[in-house]
């Protein structure tokens, strides 16, 4: 039973998806760089991201234990299946193991792993319910998963995945703001200081829309850095999803906007894969 609690604590499904996102980043970078692919490196990339993502989820539950006792009583800590202190130690073990494994790759991977681990802790402890800063932190962490995969091939890999990093970060920031708009009532009851609470839902929607529009304006740039025409053809559909999300935000449909932004992220990822390999 306790093992199952630990699996729930780290949210295994999220960890697997994050690991595969890093592998996709490596694949996009590999399509451009003239080096032999390292299966060992790919396995380490996946494992590092899996462990650090799981550690971030566990430390988040550690700091949210009191809130989860009210809102999510069946989570591992409030249900008593995993003690709060054990969750903390387990999280730190995962962070340490993930960072240590990144040393087997290269210095860039190590630096990204260390910075992201520190940010996950700071986010869970201090930034989660702050105005905009928490949204930006989540956006960076999401985008940097692809960047970390590209870093397997050094600076050329970083450059190759930089566009995906930026677009993913912007889409995530816009989506996080949209989710905050949707959750305003609950966040207000918990004393959170999110953007919609401080400036109002309408103005927060304008900020999210501006971020989404910035992503649309930047989306063609990767084509000029070496991606094929297939990138432009597919990313146009991602831009359409962004524009639909912006329209929904303007109309006050935060939940619908969040779904459209998620779809935009998936299509943009497909555009980068198509542009790199076709």
Mean pLDDT by 10 residues, the chain (278 residues): 77 90 88 73 94 94 80 81 90 96 94 96 86 90 92 89 90 88 73 81 90 91 86 92 90 86 87 83
pTM for the model stands at 0.88
| pLDDT at 33 (0 to 100) | 67
2-277 architecture in CATH?
A: Orthogonal Bundle (1.10)
- For 139-165, b where at least 16 C-beta lie within 10 A, e where not — what string? bbbbbbbbbbbbbbbbeebbbbbbbbb
Ordered by start, the domain boundaries in the chain are 2-277
Report the b/e string of 172-191 with b at 16+ CB within 10 A.
Answer: bbbbbbbbbbbbbeebeeee
């Amino acid at each position: 039973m306790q093992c199952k609690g630990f699996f729930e604590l780290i949210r295994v499904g999220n960890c697997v998806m994050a690991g595969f996102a890093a592998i996709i980043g490596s694949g996009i970078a590999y399509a451009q760089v003239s080096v032999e692919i390292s299966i060992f490196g790919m396995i380490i990339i996946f494992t590092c991201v899996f462990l650090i993502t799981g550690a971030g989820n566990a430390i988040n539950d550690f700091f949210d234990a009191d809130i989860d006792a009210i809102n999510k009583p069946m989570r591992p800590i409030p249900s008593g299946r995993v003690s709060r202190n054990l969750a903390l130690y387990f999280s730190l073990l995962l962070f340490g193991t993930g960072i240590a494994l990144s040393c087997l790759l290269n210095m860039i991977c190590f630096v990204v792993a260390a910075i992201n681990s520190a940010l996950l802790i700071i986010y869970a402890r201090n930034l989660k319910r702050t105005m905009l800063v928490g949204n930006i932190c989540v956006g960076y962490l999401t985008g940097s998963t692809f960047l970390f995969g590209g870093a397997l091939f050094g600076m050329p890999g970083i450059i190759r995945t930089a566009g995906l990093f930026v677009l993913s970060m912007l889409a995530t920031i816009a989506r996080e703001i949209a989710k905050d708009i949707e959750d305003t009532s609950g966040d207000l009851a918990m004393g959170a200081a999110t953007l919609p609470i401080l400036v109002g839902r309408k103005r927060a929607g304008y900020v999210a829309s501006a971020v989404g529009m910035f992503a649309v304006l930047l989306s063609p740039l990767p084509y000029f850095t070496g991606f094929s025409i297939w990138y432009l053809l597919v990313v146009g559909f991602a831009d359409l999803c962004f524009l639909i999300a912006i329209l929904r935000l303007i109309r006050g449909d935060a939940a619908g906007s969040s779904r459209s932004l998620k779809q935009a992220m998936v299509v943009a990822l497909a555009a980068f894969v198509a542009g790199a390999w076709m």
